[in-house]
Structure 1
Amino acid sequence: MTKKNNILTLLALITTNCYAQDNHISLSKDLRADNYSMQPIHMQSRWAKDVNPANALKEYPRPQMVRKSWQNLNGLWEYVITDSKNSIPTNYEGTILVPYPIESALSGVQKSLTPDQRLWYKRNIQNPILAKGERLLLHFGAVDWQATLFVNKKEVGQHSGGYQNFSFDITDYLQPGNNELLVKVYDPTDQGPNPHGKQVLNPANIYYTPSSGIWQTVWIEKVPTTHIINIKTTPDIDKGLLNINVNTANEANDLKIEVTAKASGKIVSIKKLLLSSVQQAYKEAASEIFSMTIPNAHLWSPDDPFLYDLSIKLVRGTKTVDQVESYFGMRKINIQKDEKGIDRIFLNNKYTYNLGTLDQGFWPEGLYTAPTDEALAFDIKAIKSMGFNTIRKHIKIEPERWYYHADKMGMLVWQDFVNPPHSLPEGSRQIFEKEMQETMDQLHNHPSIVTWVLFNERWGAYDQKRLTEWVENYDSSRIVNGHTGELLYVNNELRDPSDSPWISSNMTDVHAYPNPMNAPAQPGKARALGEFGGVGVPVPSHEWNDLQGWGYIQVTPAELKGKYEMMTKHLKQLEAEGLSASIYTQPFDVEGEENGLLTYDRAIIKIPINEIRDINKALVNQTKAFALDPQFVIAENIDINDNDSKYEAFLNQYEKGKRDSAFLRRLTLISLRKKDQPRATQFGNDYINILKEPYSKENLTFIRQITRTSKDKGFELFRTQSEKVNTILGENQAEGEVKQIINTEEISPYISGDNAHPDWDAIQQRVINKYGSLGEEFILGKRMLYYWIVTKDWNNFAKYYVLYFEKALKHSEYHINNASWTLFEHADNPKVLEFAANVMKYNIETFDQSPEAYDTYANLLYKLKKSNEAIQWEEKALYLKRDSPDEKEFVDALEKMKKGIPTWPENKN
């Protein structure tokens, strides 16, 4: 295009303040910009430094429905974390920068939120001047997961859904002058029934840090009483039509609707009709209200991402009552047969190979939230610059502006739904289906989205046939990948075969790590490789966790290009056999995953841009729309020689006095990988000595991971400062690290091996002499475990069961129920059995309300001849175990108790 579309120009002009004259607010000292600073973080992208309270994601957040009368509420809010009680707090902990998640460094807080806590946000706004008939809407881009809004301490409403936008009409809650906005957030992350994607409270490998609370833009907007709520546009290129739904609030029969489509500023089509007929048609057939002709349609594609402007007005007489600006793309996506009769993906009636990459949408400093709009757009532009035409947006819904950038740049998007929890707890199915439909409604108008991905690798999957068919019927303008990775191959071995893969789907789709393979051919379905690759390449000084870098395989930087080129040649062969799409894992490293083509901070590209573009040309014709922007800096090229082979050179630098923290950190890690423990201890101790804040979570996490011996400084820190460490890392974390080293140095060498005859009394005395009560508790547990698992010496097992749980009941390292069941089977001493029954009673009251725990407690009571009480507990266990495969074991035990028959194996007494 030679001209910018009007909507694109308008979006460039609209920023944060469209009726500021009504909303000048005197900010308290706490909410001023000079009170904010990003939390320290060892890795950040180039855009993080540009973030401040005055410019936090200031762009208009809803490009598909633009109004001029709005105000951005991003910036500093007050916050407090409370328990789960519903009372409105009176005091606040500090300020948080909205819309960055509370766990992120950019929020200025960087604290975790647990399921039993609530996060509260507060800020004031001035009541804007509203003309007669005007309303004030408060919009949220997304809040994870459940948000309750109060205005002037009166509850306005509640919304559940961590990825969907929502709004409240707050007009009737406003008062003259200042008005208090209060938002309460509940986010159970992976502990509730809510879709949570890859967020988990304890992230590792393919799961990441949570993003709780407000994580997309908050804004207010003036609208007339009768106004446009939303629009839905669906192109039909075969008929040259744009089908349009318009949903309005407070219909009035004297209003007309006027819709104007423009191409590069020139009107190409106008549609006018009475609003009442629109409303009637909407009630009868929500899938189509009216159509407008788009003559000689200029089609949208990655090769030519042409967008039309769309203006929608509500008109009374000659006066415009409400108006929104939007845009649309004319494109078609479906499955057709090519000239050889192979079912393939067709874009605009032309076969188009979908060469994609798996984009997670995480940022080191912002987690779910990109630091700036430029950063948000960067990811798409970088991926297209590398020669890809497709992004699979993986188990995350992005802000509307991400899809706007994809529309504008020309990127095909496979949009994953955010899966329900794997275990499908009560209520999770209904929540998933509600959020799935809301996601489809929210993103429907974006031409870039060509595929809905229902389930990923069976995560939380259920009713696949029904849901796949529902998605296809609800949105026939896109293709549906009902289950990507229904068959998952790792190193050519199939995990968990499926009986009916891809049922009702438009695709057959396999995942294969690391090397590509084809999905089976099925009539009417395109064949797709939904994930492959996962090739790990760590980049020193650009790692989230430099101890736990992960990939399906690891290669050196020098080997990566050859590996990727070989995979692409293989893809070309598979394409000739019928493959229509492939998704490489992944464009960017994400936290512990180091299998990106760029590092997590987007600072280093692991295959030079021109080289990876040349490789990808085998599958995508790189037209002018793929041309490199000379002003666009993607990243520095990786130094293929910067690896552990530099160890000797680094040792020389150390001997000459180099002692900066980054150098010592890296030197410590290389020493560990080289299994040079004495030097690792020396360098690690030097590193800890120069830390200004050793008790930050980041530093303690690293110290824990390099602490391997009792000579390491971290060992003494965890042993002597356990309470302080546990406050930051979690309960019993410090003691756990100390015990692991005690075991390695003082116990394992003396009890290992086939011919070992440990002198346990000598070991115990030595450990107690060195480590006092902590060592005593630990050695008692190890003795219990040894007699239990290794020698099956049941008398000594019972003795040390009692001695251990007398000291460690409240923080046992061993599974209480398992140990107590073994004791029940093998002990006869009434005092020991009574002690075990009390242990189980505490366990049930404090930790474990499982049917298995109830069963163990019941059997202990029964063996103690407390039959009536035992039967009551066994009945409780059976009630919890009903309809499960091993229910019969509980039924048998209950019957024996009622008949007075022993429930324990006689041959084991």
Structure 2
Amino acid sequence: MAAQALQTTTAALPRPEYPRPDWQRQDWLSLNGSWSFRLLTDRDESGSTQPEGGFDSEITVPFSWASPLSGIGRSETGIGWYKREVSWSPEAAGSLVFLRFGAVDYNCDVWINGTHAGSHSGGYGSFEFDVTSAWKLNEANTIVVKAEDFDLKSQTRGKQGYGESRGIWQPVWLEARPQTFVQSAKFITKLDGTVQANTTVTAGVSGDAQLRFAFGGGAVSHTVNVKLAEGENSISALFQVADPQLWSPETPYLYEGEIQLTSGDGTDSVAAYFGIREVGTALFGDRKYRWITLNGKPVYLNGTLDQAYHETGYFTYPTDESMRDEIYLAKRLGLDFIRIHIKPEDPRKLYWADKLGLMVMEDMPCFWGNPDETARPAYEREAKEIIDRDFNHPSIFSWIMFNETWGLRTDAETIALTSQDAAKAEATYLPETQEWVRSMYRWAKSVDPTRIVEDNSPCNYDKVESDINTWHFYINGYEEVRAHVTDVVEKTYPGSSFNCIGDNVQTDAPLMNSECGNVWGFSNGAGDSDLAWHYRYMLNEFRRHDKMCGFVFTELRDVTNEFNGYYRLDGREKFFGYDGFVPGMTIADLHAPDFIVIDAPPCQTVQAGASVSVPLLASSFSDRYHGRQLQLGWELWHDNLGTRVTTERGTVALDWNGYGVTPIAEPLAFSVPKQDAVAVLALTLRAGDGTVVTRNFVTFDVRSGEGVPVYDADGRFIAVPVTAFAEQTFAYQWNAIQEGKANGGKAGRFVYDIQLPDAGEQAIVSHVELAFEASSKRLLARNLEGARDRDHTISMMHGADAAVEYNSNTYYMTDNELHESLIHVLVDGEKVASFLLPDNPADSRGVLSYQYQEVQNKLDEAGSYGYLCKVALPSSVTAKLDRSRGFKLALEAGEGGLALYGRNAGRYPIDIVVNVK
């Protein structure tokens, strides 16, 4: 079947595109789609070639039988039997027929027309079988696949708990090749344009052949004449690219083209590509520590942990577009890399990372049992398959061999068998296992010297030998994060035993974080909460240290039991609220290679009118503006009961020279407002042409110290605490944030007794204006039934249900899903105003809800805030109040509920404020 005709027949198939854009032949047939299927949950030792009882259902390949998209949706372990009838013949007579599998979990056997074609073991590696001898041309062929997955402790299973990769879970296809063909080619590139192509050719017979490399629209045209021996041949070709265009996230240039092998068996053409780039580490200046480099220059790695998990396909992306969009989701945040977690990535997603420009750290999948004589060889076999398959992706800059010592500890029971004191035995990372890990690191360096290799991405300070020195932490709270990061930096130097196990010590390897965030930084973590506040001060702390050169934030999307993603699991956007402080600011400003560090807490409580100074630092990991002068504009502003007021502003000229972190000579000095306010110091760094380089901000909780808050407005202010209601009628009511916030669930009202100044204090009441901060109130399971906190054990890594709505820290961060509530304002029973409250938000704009958290690792509706509601009472109502000098204020909500924010909660430093004139 010709490739052109194939497009029309496969258009409706799932994942119809060729699975390997980096290594593609034209004569092929997708076998994705409907297969006959049967799942048997018991082991089968009979050696049968068909399932007992026959096939009883249909499954959609390439989706795991556990996933919804498979049409099966059963998570049990077992043996999956697949059958497909196929009639297909290669275009060229005499061609070989290969049956190819993207991945099958875990043990796989294949029969063609009853003849055993081959076996494969491993859950993530790609593999193929030459089925030519069993394949019948121009008539129906029966393919039977047996996939056995019993979650053995020795399996390279990875982090599958979110959704199991059972059976066939990557594309399956047939492919034709001539008898003599190119098996593989690995491109090693240099910045000067030198390219070495280490090629493997499989020859049906010995003889002369011509190997041609044509790439980049004529930029590469190189031919090698070779003599082939029957069987496998290794050929190293060296060629030069004139005026090489380098690959980087900013300029992801790919040399696309083909490798063509011409022999007596015909011509084999393979479409392929490579990118010219070099990854390394280097010393700069008089530093005793290295930085990571891309193309010879320092690069600051702004990255995220990518679990690569989806609701419907689990670890199989539903479409090619969804993989492309995943790369866009990361890039639009200003990130320059992703860490694919505990698994290799789908080749098509790696293609989009190559094409669109996003660097990739790729993990090897771990096993969960003991590192014994069964698990180690299985791991080694799979690691080789992964590195061989993904070698040519320029986006991949690092291999991580192990994660958090998973699978590297020998359990207590095994140790007890050889221990003199079995009662004291515990799971241990044994010295012999450490040496095996070292050998794996060195092996990876030997087979791929072009990339950074890490032995173990650690959370237990147990590194052995590595190109980079990384660590994990999950801590919430500014002071705690600052102290922790500073401690790690100070303990990092050549010869230090910190972050190492046994007798191993640090080298001058670059320091970066390889997992961070606050999702596990809460007591009984995993609950959904705002991350915007934490994220900004954490990034400032990272950029404060010249020694640090990157981080990995957990994570790109929420998953089933971790709700710390930049996006929801379904891709919905979360709103960080930074533009509420600096116009135009997004999270991407925190990822700018040229950055202004604010060396101060995210919020400080200060006295009204106080003089304040804020230290700043310049952090540069790009030479784009070196040798130029940048302009740092700053503005101190606050909101005065709905009116934005700027009290001070200025500009500082900065000579932007050199990489790294340097103090800006003079701290910014200013006086905060002389009233109660949330004051904001907003910074914008601009190039000479006005281009914004980066933005940042810091806040101040300004307090007048008076019994009644002070605002810049005429009239007499009366402040009524939101929790001082005389009555309430909600089915669910509680106060939060140290009595700074009042919550009412479902429909109901809060009623307040308001006392106005008597005639002796104010002869005439001519005008009354009300102001308060309010939001709707979404009720969570913990609000309705009580919190049910759970210890976050290793079971969470296997997908255990976190029951997030029962978690005491849970409070949904602002996203696309709105929860509205209509409220009415009544004065002595007369409705004077109504407000549609759009949502129940929580993000960085809830400054005061963070500033008054009592315990940093057990959050109480952190980041929550409302909308400023102002009501000028009608003159007819005011006339009555002039006589009564008091009234009942009722704030009445429908089913959407009501939350009221007082002086020490939310976004605005106000209680229920009554302004009387």
**TM-score when normalising by structure 1:** 0.58
Residue of structure 1 in register with 2:284 after alignment:
338
User: Do structure 1's residue 55 and structure 2's residue 13 form an aligned pair?
Assistant: yes
Q: What is the alpha-carbon distance in structure 1 between the residues aligned to residue 229 and residue 589 of structure 2?
A: 51
From 286, 299, 318, the equivalent of 1:371 is 318
CA 192–171 in structure 1, closer or farther in 2 if over 3 Å, else same: same
Flag structure 1 segments of 5+ consecutive residues without an equivalent: 1-15, 25-51, 200-206, 489-494, 538-548, 625-642, 654-662, 676-700, 707-909
Residue of structure 2 in register with 1:295 after alignment:
242
What is the correspondence of 1:253-268 to structure 2 with a 5 Å cutoff? 253-262=207-216, 265=217, 267-268=218-219
User: Do structure 1's residue 80 and structure 2's residue 34 form an aligned pair?
Assistant: no
Query: Which secondary structure state, in structure 1, belongs to the residue aligned with residue 165 of structure 2?
Result: coil
Q: What is the alpha-carbon distance in structure 2 between the residues aligned to residue 673 and residue 182 of structure 1?
A: 52
Residue of structure 2 in register with 1:188 after alignment:
150
Kindly indicate whether the alpha-carbon contact (under 8 Å) linking 1:551 and 1:595 is maintained by their aligned counterparts in 2.
no
What is the correspondence of 1:508-907 to structure 2 with a 5 Å cutoff? 508-514=469-475, 515=481, 517=485, 518=488, 520-522=492-494, 523-535=507-519, 552=525, 556-557=529-530, 560-574=531-545, 576=546, 578-607=547-576, 611-617=586-592, 618=595, 648-651=744-747, 668-673=781-786
The amino acid that maps onto 1:570 is: E
User: Do structure 1's residue 236 and structure 2's residue 190 form an aligned pair?
Assistant: yes
From 2, 23, 26, the equivalent of 1:68 is 26
Residue of structure 1 in register with 2:447 after alignment:
474
Offset of residue 169 of structure 1: 1.6
Offset of residue 70 of structure 1: 1.1
Q: What is the alpha-carbon distance in structure 1 between the residues aligned to residue 111 and residue 177 of structure 2?
A: 21
From 84, 87, 97, the equivalent of 1:136 is 97
Kindly indicate whether the alpha-carbon contact (under 8 Å) linking 2:224 and 2:237 is maintained by their aligned counterparts in 1.
no
Size of the aligned set, in residue pairs, is 568
Residue of structure 2 in register with 1:107 after alignment:
70
From 273, 285, 300, the equivalent of 2:224 is 273
User: Do structure 1's residue 169 and structure 2's residue 116 form an aligned pair?
Assistant: no
Residue of structure 2 in register with 1:214 after alignment:
168
Flag structure 2 segments of 5+ consecutive residues without an equivalent: 409-432, 476-480, 495-506, 579-584, 596-618, 626-733, 750-775, 789-800, 807-917
Offset of residue 705 of structure 1: 11
Query: Which secondary structure state, in structure 1, belongs to the residue aligned with residue 443 of structure 2?
Result: helix
Q: What is the alpha-carbon distance in structure 2 between the residues aligned to residue 623 and residue 142 of structure 1?
A: 42
C-alpha offsets along residues 103-128 of structure 1, whole Å, 9 cap, x if unaligned? Answer: 111111100232xx311011110142
Offset of residue 536 of structure 1: 7.2
Query: Which secondary structure state, in structure 1, belongs to the residue aligned with residue 69 of structure 2?
Result: coil
CA-atom RMSD in angstroms: 3.4
Q: What is the alpha-carbon distance in structure 1 between the residues aligned to residue 54 and residue 11 of structure 2?
A: 22
C-alpha offsets along residues 702-742 of structure 1, whole Å, 9 cap, x if unaligned? Answer: 99999xxxxxxxxxxxxxxxxxxxxxxxxxxxxxxxxxxxx
C-alpha offsets along residues 173-193 of structure 1, whole Å, 9 cap, x if unaligned? Answer: 12352111111011122x331
Offset of residue 68 of structure 1: 1.4
Offset of residue 234 of structure 1: 1.3
The amino acid that maps onto 2:17 is: E
The amino acid that maps onto 2:254 is: L
Kindly indicate whether the alpha-carbon contact (under 8 Å) linking 2:192 and 2:244 is maintained by their aligned counterparts in 1.
no
The amino acid that maps onto 1:261 is: F
Q: Counting strand residues as a fraction of each chain, which structure ranks higher? A: 2
The amino acid that maps onto 1:607 is: F
Q: What is the alpha-carbon distance in structure 2 between the residues aligned to residue 649 and residue 421 of structure 1?
A: 45
Residue of structure 1 in register with 2:336 after alignment:
389
Query: Which secondary structure state, in structure 2, belongs to the residue aligned with residue 84 of structure 1?
Result: coil
User: Do structure 1's residue 305 and structure 2's residue 263 form an aligned pair?
Assistant: no
Q: What is the alpha-carbon distance in structure 1 between the residues aligned to residue 301 and residue 254 of structure 2?
A: 21
The amino acid that maps onto 1:565 is: R
Residue of structure 2 in register with 1:224 after alignment:
178
The amino acid that maps onto 1:472 is: K
Q: What is the alpha-carbon distance in structure 1 between the residues aligned to residue 523 and residue 382 of structure 2?
A: 31
CA 408–395 in structure 1, closer or farther in 2 if over 3 Å, else same: same
Offset of residue 261 of structure 1: 2.1
Kindly indicate whether the alpha-carbon contact (under 8 Å) linking 1:17 and 1:71 is maintained by their aligned counterparts in 2.
no
Q: What is the alpha-carbon distance in structure 2 between the residues aligned to residue 126 and residue 607 of structure 1?
A: 54
Offset of residue 60 of structure 1: 1.2
Q: What is the alpha-carbon distance in structure 2 between the residues aligned to residue 214 and residue 608 of structure 1?
A: 42
C-alpha offsets along residues 461-510 of structure 1, whole Å, 9 cap, x if unaligned? Answer: 3312211111111110111111211xx2xxxxxx5x54xx242x111111
Offset of residue 352 of structure 1: 0.6
CA 237–250 in structure 1, closer or farther in 2 if over 3 Å, else same: farther
Kindly indicate whether the alpha-carbon contact (under 8 Å) linking 2:90 and 2:176 is maintained by their aligned counterparts in 1.
no
- Structure 1 window deviating more from structure 2 (422-431 vs 505-514): it is 422-431
Residue of structure 2 in register with 1:96 after alignment:
59
Query: Which secondary structure state, in structure 1, belongs to the residue aligned with residue 220 of structure 2?
Result: strand
C-alpha offsets along residues 760-813 of structure 1, whole Å, 9 cap, x if unaligned? Answer: xxxxxxxxxxxxxxxxxxxxxxxxxxxxxxxxxxxxxxxxxxxxxxxxxxxxxx
Kindly indicate whether the alpha-carbon contact (under 8 Å) linking 1:77 and 1:121 is maintained by their aligned counterparts in 2.
yes
CA 588–705 in structure 1, closer or farther in 2 if over 3 Å, else same: closer
C-alpha offsets along residues 123-150 of structure 1, whole Å, 9 cap, x if unaligned? Answer: 1101425643212111111111111101
Q: What is the alpha-carbon distance in structure 1 between the residues aligned to residue 404 and residue 64 of structure 2?
A: 28
Q: What is the alpha-carbon distance in structure 1 between the residues aligned to residue 8 and residue 90 of structure 2?
A: 9
Query: Which secondary structure state, in structure 1, belongs to the residue aligned with residue 76 of structure 2?
Result: coil
CA 702–420 in structure 1, closer or farther in 2 if over 3 Å, else same: closer
Kindly indicate whether the alpha-carbon contact (under 8 Å) linking 1:64 and 1:325 is maintained by their aligned counterparts in 2.
yes
Kindly indicate whether the alpha-carbon contact (under 8 Å) linking 1:209 and 1:367 is maintained by their aligned counterparts in 2.
yes
Q: What is the alpha-carbon distance in structure 1 between the residues aligned to residue 366 and residue 94 of structure 2?
A: 42
Residue of structure 2 in register with 1:465 after alignment:
438
Query: Which secondary structure state, in structure 1, belongs to the residue aligned with residue 544 of structure 2?
Result: helix
Offset of residue 608 of structure 1: 5.9
Residue of structure 2 in register with 1:809 after alignment:
none
Q: What is the alpha-carbon distance in structure 1 between the residues aligned to residue 29 and residue 623 of structure 2?
A: 40
Query: Which secondary structure state, in structure 1, belongs to the residue aligned with residue 189 of structure 2?
Result: strand
Q: What is the alpha-carbon distance in structure 1 between the residues aligned to residue 367 and residue 743 of structure 2?
A: 46
Q: What is the alpha-carbon distance in structure 1 between the residues aligned to residue 369 and residue 400 of structure 2?
A: 17
Residue of structure 1 in register with 2:268 after alignment:
322
Query: Which secondary structure state, in structure 2, belongs to the residue aligned with residue 376 of structure 1?
Result: helix
Query: Which secondary structure state, in structure 2, belongs to the residue aligned with residue 431 of structure 1?
Result: helix
Q: What is the alpha-carbon distance in structure 2 between the residues aligned to residue 252 and residue 608 of structure 1?
A: 67
CA 668–568 in structure 1, closer or farther in 2 if over 3 Å, else same: closer
CA 274–611 in structure 1, closer or farther in 2 if over 3 Å, else same: same
The amino acid that maps onto 1:481 is: E
The amino acid that maps onto 1:521 is: Y
- Structure 1 window deviating more from structure 2 (245-254 vs 346-355): it is 245-254
